[in-house]
Structure 1
Amino acid sequence: MTVTRHLLLGKEADKGLLFRLFIYLLLSDIAFIYLSPVLYMITTMVKNAADLLDPAVIWVPHTLFTGTLSDAWHKINFPAAFRISLSLSLAVSILQTFSCAVAGYAFARLDFPFKRFWFACLLLSFVVPQQVIILPELIVANQIDLMRTYVPIIAPALFGHGLKGALFVIIYRQFFATQPKELEEAARMDGAGLLRTFFRVMLPLAKPAILVVFLFSFVWTWNDYYTPGAYLIGATEVPLSLGLSQITSQLNEQALEMGPSIFDEPVKMAGSFLIIVPPLLLYLFTQRWFIESVERTGLIE
């Protein structure tokens, strides 16, 4: 009786078989909630006309039809759009990774006038939504003839701002604040100045924060629809994040000419699949380092 009780309930609360079964069931339910839309999108985009019209076919199609995926590939001009998205995301993420590191180190280690005031302004820029300030930004960009260019998207990252830039500064500030001051004192005793201490001592230690900021910046810039949609109105070459709007406009034109098609929604899902695959592959190869870096930066506390 005691052996059975220990097997089912365990000697500790989290060691029993029933507890583990409950955890696995809970995790399976949560995983299904998050994965079911993606699985439905994938199964829908590979259905042919017969499977789309058959109400009994929901998850597993009878045949794999790749014509929808090919149609979405050509509608969004995937090679060109992928090249633009990759270049834009890399440029923004690299600039934000460096500039936010400088700002985060300054807030964590340096004393300068009105430090608390500027940090409050940083928090304010993080709280205020982008939709509130987009109109004056568009006016300024139009006055200096930067509309339909990528400069208004890349330039803020050069100065530690841009999409979620305030959050990245806070991540670096939290990381640098936890480092022992003896490292900087030893560097000063060796004759290192401020810049040399930062580049030779503190920045190499910030590899976990660098990886977290780079991946966050890359994925968020890749998925950002609002900012490119505001600055690239009328542009012929746009990133993948605007691919769905291109597909929708082309499908609407086809619907006006030939009427709606049962493949309209599958084409949109195929376009969504093409957009999310690169970040998923990136996370697939970097998840172990990413999780370790998140733990070391203290974001989960």
Structure 2
Amino acid sequence: MYALLICIGFIYIYPILYMVSQSFMTLDDLLDSSINWIPSKLNLDNYKQAAQSMDFWKSFGQSIIIAGAPTLCNLLSCSVIGYGLARFEFPGKKVVLGIILFTFILPSQITMIPTYVLYSNMGILGTIWSFVLPALLGMGINAPIFILIFWQFFRQVPKVLIEAAQIDGAGYLKSFFKISLPSASPAIITVSLFSFVWYWNESYLTQMYVSGVTTKSGWSSLVIKLGDFASNYSDYAQTATTAVTSINESINMAGTMLSILPLLVMYFVLQRYFVESIDRTGITGE
């Protein structure tokens, strides 16, 4: 079993190790066939030039906003929708669940053009509201699966807790915020991590709705900067006051590493909580 896990892990870790190794190499190391993994020296200029060409700190801050704001909205809206579906019976409930599943299966490419026209008529193209507003209404990126996660979790919360709170005079909202939501920390952590990563890695929709296709809004992200890395580096090399190395594989790898580094740090910090949240979603109840 350990041998199988090591083989599977190597498939995922190998590209990252290769990227890290290549990102620290100089041009001489790249041309030297005897150097494959360990560079002759750690060349930090690759990261410095890549960060300056990507305008790293500004793009990093905007990436946090672009991914973080819709994630918070997804948590609020999807938890409320999931709680309503789990705790209340109403006509057409199965139809609503079916529609939610259908919207998750429906490819985003089909609704992309109508959504673009809608956002254009609403005047929110080129603003963060094109991500925030749908997330507030439970229609963010992959929001249906978040609704189903909360729905499945709230179904497992013992009904006696809700009934006891109602006997003590708590209403529906108070029961939700005081009883159900605090116990839903595993689902909250899972949804937060998935939503943040999906918004962070989404480049096409971000460039279409937030950054703007016809008009530039000033909003960008590290993933978008990475997609235009060659042209951005060319512009940086023309305006740089100091000597700049011509773009090569090491600088490309450094730029790629900078774009995924925040997610790697976040995963290592939240890994224990994420694993515990997955384990704790198996609680028993009525």
Q: Residue 162 of structure 1 aligns with which residue?
A: 140
Structure 1 unmatched ranges of 5 or more: 1-22, 256-260
1:241 alignment partner, one of 214, 218, 223: 223
2:113 alignment partner, one of 132, 135, 141: 135
Q: Residue 39 of structure 1 aligns with which residue?
A: 17
Identity %: 37
* Aligned-residue RMSD, C-alpha: 2.1
Superposed displacement of residue 147, structure 1: 1.9
Distance 2:255 2:225 in 1: 7
> For each residue in 1:154-205, what CA deviation from the matched residue of structure 2 results, as whole angstroms up to 9, or x when unmatched?
1111112211111111000110111111111111211211111111111111
Q: Which amino acid aligns with 1:36?
A: Y
Q: Which amino acid aligns with 1:193?
A: G
> For each residue in 1:209-268, what CA deviation from the matched residue of structure 2 results, as whole angstroms up to 9, or x when unmatched?
11111111112211111210212233433011211123132357799xxxxx87333222
Distance 2:89 2:69 in 1: 30
> For each residue in 1:126-155, what CA deviation from the matched residue of structure 2 results, as whole angstroms up to 9, or x when unmatched?
111211111111111122322221111111
Q: What SS does structure 1 have at the residue aligned with 2:228?
A: helix
Extract structure 1 runs of 4+ deviating beyond 6 A: 252-255
TM-score of the aligned structures, taking structure 2 as reference length: 0.89
Q: Residue 270 of structure 2 aligns with which residue?
A: 286
Contact conserved, 1:45 with 1:270, CA < 8 A, in 2?
yes
Superposed displacement of residue 43, structure 1: 1.0
Distance 2:29 2:194 in 1: 38
RCO greater where, 1 or 2, for CA within 8 Å and sep 6 or more?
2
Q: 1:119/1:294 Cα in 2 relative to 1: closer, same or farther (>3 Å)?
A: same
Structure 2 unmatched ranges of 5 or more: 238-244
Contact conserved, 1:141 with 1:147, CA < 8 A, in 2?
yes
Aligned residues: 273
Q: Residue 102 of structure 1 aligns with which residue?
A: 80
Q: Which amino acid aligns with 2:251?
A: V
The aligned runs of 1:178-193 (5 Å cut-off) are 178-193=156-171
Q: Residue 296 of structure 1 aligns with which residue?
A: 280
Q: What SS does structure 2 have at the residue aligned with 1:120?
A: helix
Distance 1:91 1:113 in 2: 33
Q: Residue 232 of structure 2 aligns with which residue?
A: 250
Distance 2:17 2:11 in 1: 11
Distance 1:66 1:252 in 2: 19
Superposed displacement of residue 52, structure 1: 0.8
The aligned runs of 1:211-226 (5 Å cut-off) are 211-226=189-204
Q: Residue 240 of structure 2 aligns with which residue?
A: none
Larger Rg, first or second structure (1 or 2):
1
